[in-house]
Amino acid sequence: MLEDYSRVLSDAKKEEQFYFFGSAEARSAASKIKSIGLFETIQVNGIKVTSYYAGHVLGACMFHV
């Protein structure tokens, strides 16, 4: 999604004078993503994060930090 958004922005950049990020930044951001399973607890810089079902939205989850 970030790659596509970057492409759309680069097309719009010809008309506008704004630019948020490019493909390199999108790849860098994606490399920092860590997926966890439901009910799994991980520690991030000493902070515990646990994922749970968010029953009000199909397929969504919420996090207890």
The answer to whether residues 46 and 58 belong to one domain is: yes
> pLDDT value at position 24?
80
CA distance 6 to 35: 23
Give me the domain span that covers residue 62: 34-65
If one counts the domains in the chain, the total is 2
Same domain, residue pair 28 and 54: no
> Could you tell me the pTM of the whole model?
0.56
The predicted-structure confidence for 1-44, as pLDDT tens digits, reads as follows 777 777 777 666 555 555 666 778 878 888 888 889 999 999 99
Considering the domain architecture, whether residues 40 and 51 belong to the same structural domain is answered as yes
Q: Are residues 28 and 3 in the same domain?
A: yes
* The predicted structure's pLDDT at residue 42: 95
Do residues 23 and 3 touch, judged by C-beta distance below 8 A? yes
Radius of gyration of the chain (CA): 17
Q: Are 6 and 29 contained in the same domain? A: yes
Same-domain check for residues 8 and 23 = yes
Pair 25, 39 in one domain: no
